[in-house]
Structure 1
Amino acid sequence: MITSRQIRAARALLGWSQQQLADKAIVSLNAVARLEGGVVDSRISTVQAVQDALVKAGIEFLDADQKGEGVRLKSPKA
């Protein structure tokens, strides 16, 4: 499951506002704000919709391991 910090970092990499992410994920602005604030929505479908929108835009989520969690922007394919 992605974390609130990963969502904020991914959005920053893309240069998106919370409203843009909400529009792309087809969720409410309030849901994005709550997720980024660490208040996990009880509906997994909301988190999944946000994650799917970010992955579609080129974000890759890095699992927490010895180096820690993270995100990166995939290089565009040549």
Structure 2
Amino acid sequence: MITATQIRGARAMIGMSIEELAAASGLPVETVTALENGEFAGEPHALFDVRSTLEAHGIIFLSSGNQDEGGPGIRLRARTVSDDGIRPENLNAANDD
């Protein structure tokens, strides 16, 4: 199970607001806020929905290691070649968003 700290950290790592995470996961803002405060009682699917949403945005949840390796954590998924975006020499008015 992921922790409230992992949820807060993951959201911060990808620059997502509570409102954006709620909308992306299909949950009320109050539910996401409760999960970030460690209040896991409630809708049983809420924690799964939040985790799935954050994983879809590139978060990897790490389980707790032994005492020498630290506790639970998060990291970003490694970028693939196709994630490099537009190279400077390919910028033009057609792809200027």
TM-score (normalizing by structure 2): 0.77
CA-CA distance at 1:64 after TM superposition: 0.8
User: Please, which of 73, 82, 89 is the counterpart of residue 70 of structure 1?
Assistant: 73
- Asked if the contact 1:19/1:29 (under 8 Å) is kept, the reply is yes
Identity of aligned residues (%): 35
How far 1:65 moved relative to its partner? 1.4
Q: Paired residue for 2:84?
A: none
* Partner-residue secondary structure (3-state), 1:42: coil
| RMSD, aligned CA | 0.9
Deviations 1:4-44 (A, max 9, x none): 00000000001011001001111000000000011113322
Aligned twin of 1:14: 14
Unaligned runs of 5+ in 2: 82-97
Task: Return the alpha-carbon distance in structure 1 between the equivalents of residues 55 and 44 of structure 2.
Answer: 16
CA–CA distance in structure 2, aligned partners of residues 41 and 31 of structure 1: 10
Count of aligned pairs between the two proteins: 78
**Where does residue 30 of structure 1 map in the other structure?**
30
Matched residues in 1 for 2:27 and 2:57: separation?
Answer: 16
CA contact (8 A) 1:31 1:41 kept: no
Deviation at 1:75, TM superposition (A): 1.9
Give me the whole-angstrom Cα distance separating, in 1, the residues matched to 2:52 and 2:18.
15
Name the SS for the 1:61 alignment partner: strand
Q: TM (normalized to structure 1)?
A: 0.94
